[in-house]
């Protein structure tokens, strides 16, 4: 999901039930962790961070980015509507699943509408032409990782808006380490700062934050929807084999999410 412009890695974490655990784990890289490192209290520093959760997750993200970059470009070039149909199914099913937990009160609904309107507007923006100097790459990493951890807003999509998507993807394929290191440094800064803000929002305003997340995901369907006309979602104009394939891909995304959510309680009970 992190490689596809329009599908957020935060969305996948949110709908798989690990989102708040992810935020809390990232927040562990705080002043206390730095003090432990400076005092050379290595064992306590290791225990301060949930490495058993973060390391497998980080390895999975890195493997997927480096292994799927070419595949995603190939799918986007040859079968974009089918790929978007699959991810639209994932997003629609996750919205339906998360909306069940939302209280039907006025204030959460206002946050839902505000999140949807903001995401809808951002998804309709055009791409900029940007320079590729170190400062621009650092800023791109900062903004993209902030977006990546936010359900609904794709980090890759923000790179598209900043005119950096193709450049960064080519750097990944070509292993251009100077570019990737600067980008990773910016991303780490954005991730550490923004995760603290999101975690605070979830702890202080859980229903309102939850509603805003659902709205953001709904608004970003403007970009992920497989059938578009002038930048707006539309229904298919024909009922052919291609349209059927897109609908099947969408249904497959929904079924995959339903299966995954069905397996999550078993996985949790088996690991507790």
Q: Give how far Cα 180 sits from Cα of 59, 162, 168, Å.
A: 16, 16, 8
Residue 250: exposed, middle, or buried by beta-carbon count in 10 A (0-12, 13-18, 19+)?
buried
Q: Is residue 4 part of a domain?
A: no
1 within domain boundaries: no
Rounded Cα distance between 241 and 63, Å, is 34
Backbone angles phi, psi at 124, to 5 degrees: -90, 0
- For 239, phi then psi, to 5°, come to -120, 70
Beta carbons of 2 and 64 less than 8 angstroms apart: yes
Per-block average pLDDT, block size 10, for the chain (272 residues)? 63 72 81 83 83 84 75 78 84 80 84 89 67 86 82 72 79 86 90 82 84 84 81 81 90 81 53 38
**CB neighbour list of residue 232: distance below 8 Å, 6 or more residues apart:** 222
User: In the prediction, which pLDDT does 181 show?
Assistant: 93
Q: Collapsing DSSP states into helix, strand and coil, what is residue 249?
A: helix
Which pLDDT does position 110 carry in this prediction? 92
- pTM, whole model, 2 decimals? 0.68
Q: Which of 23, 206, 197 is nearest to 102 (CA)?
A: 206
**What is the domain extent for residue 83?**
9-271
Assigned domain for 60 exists: yes
Give the pLDDT of residue 21. Answer: 81
- Secondary structure (H, E, C), 52-111: HHHHHHHHHHHHHHHHHHHHHHHHHHHCHHHHHHHHHHHHHHHHHHHHCCCCCCHHHHHH
**How many domains does the structure of the chain reveal?**
1
- Give pLDDT, residue 248: 92
Cα separation values, 178 from 156, 164, 184, 244, Å: 19, 15, 10, 44
Is the residue at 2 inside a domain? no
pLDDT value, residue 1: 57
Q: What is the pLDDT of residues 174-203, one digit of tens each?
A: 888 899 999 999 988 888 888 888 878 878
Q: What is the pLDDT of residue 20?
A: 76
Say what the pLDDT of residue 63 is: 80
Residue 185 within any structural domain of the chain: yes
pLDDT at 126: 59
In angstroms, the Cα distances linking 47 to 32, 36, 156, 188, 271 are 12, 10, 33, 20, 19
**Cβ 50 vs Cβ 25: under 8 Å:** yes
């Amino acid at each position: 999901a992190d490689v596809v412009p329009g599908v957020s890695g935060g969305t996948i974490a949110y709908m798989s039930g690990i989102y708040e655990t992810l935020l809390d784990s990232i927040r562990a890289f705080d002043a206390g962790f730095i003090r432990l490192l400076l005092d050379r209290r290595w064992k306590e520093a290791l225990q301060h961070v949930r490495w058993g959760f973060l390391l497998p997750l980080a390895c999975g993200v890195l493997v997927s980015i480096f292994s799927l970059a070419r595949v995603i470009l190939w799918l986007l070039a040859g079968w974009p509507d089918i790929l978007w149909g699959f991810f639209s199914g994932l997003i629609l099913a996750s919205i339906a699943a998360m909306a069940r937990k939302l209280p039907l009160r006025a204030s959460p609904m206002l946050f839902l509408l505000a999140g949807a309107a903001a995401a809808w507007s951002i998804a309709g923006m055009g791409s900029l032409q940007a320079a590729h100097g170190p400062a621009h790459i650092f800023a791109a990493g900062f903004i993209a990782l902030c977006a990546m951890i936010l359900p609904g807003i794709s980090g890759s999509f923000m790179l598209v808006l900043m005119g950096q998507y193709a450049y960064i993807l080519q750097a990944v394929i070509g292993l251009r380490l100077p570019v990737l290191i600067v980008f990773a440094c910016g991303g780490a800064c954005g991730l550490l700062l923004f995760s603290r803000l999101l975690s605070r929002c979830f702890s202080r305003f859980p229903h309102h934050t939850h509603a805003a997340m659902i709205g953001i995901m709904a608004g970003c369907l403007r970009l992920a929807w497989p059938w578009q006309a002038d930048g707006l979602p539309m229904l298919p104009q024909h009922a052919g084999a291609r349209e059927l394939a897109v609908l099947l891909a969408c249904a497959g995304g929904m079924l995959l999410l339903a299966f995954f959510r069905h397996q999550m309680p078993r996985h949790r009970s088996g690991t507790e």
